[in-house]
Amino acid sequence: MYLWRAVDSEGEVLDALVQPRRGKAAALKIMRKLLRKQGYAPTMLVTDKLGSYGAARRELGLSAHHEQGLRKNNRAENSHQVVRRRERKMQGFKSAGSAQRFLFIHSAVSNAFNLQRHLISRQTLRLFRAEAANQWHVATSAA
């Protein structure tokens, strides 16, 4: 199974999808899902050198600038690391569905708690962390 992950320029996970193949159909599926969810087309697309991204972009008619390169998609690759660690601890996911469910929840939680600390002051960081902790407390106490 392959993990397809879309990350914005600030490192927030937009969407994740588990697919059995890395072909054009899988790339089309994640791109359509993102376009539907975001509501607008991106201005720039940064990927690795896999050819299915370009084929999917052409089929969808996206006019976004497409940058491909060895280390240009490091934001997406770095966001995989946490998932890989979790997968190792769990000795692999039991099915694609369980992996998809985990990724859906994990990306929402990590987006709430993962802040770009170099862009904000320490006082603002404390306020954001306290707000995130309060939201987490409300969400977990309601369940």
Structure confidence by residue, pLDDT tens digits, 18-44:
888 888 998 899 889 888 988 888 888
Structure confidence by residue, pLDDT tens digits, 55-100:
988 899 888 888 887 776 666 666 666 777 776 666 667 777 777 7
Instruction: List domains and CATH numbers for the chain.
Output: 2-142 (3.30.420.10)
- Structure confidence at residue 59 (pLDDT): 92
What separation in angstroms does the CA of 34 have from each of 27, 93, 111, 140? 11, 24, 17, 28
Q: Look at residue 115 and tell me whether its pLDDT is greater than 80.
A: no
Token code pair at residue 126: 């404390």
- Structure confidence at residue 90 (pLDDT): 64
Residue scoring higher pLDDT (127 or 111): 127
Beta bridge partners, 66, equal 45
- Structure confidence at residue 78 (pLDDT): 64
- Structure confidence at residue 143 (pLDDT): 58
- Structure confidence at residue 65 (pLDDT): 86
Phi, then psi, of 117 in degrees rounded to 5: -65, -25
To 5 degrees, how large is the angle CA 73–CA 78–CA 80?
A: 105
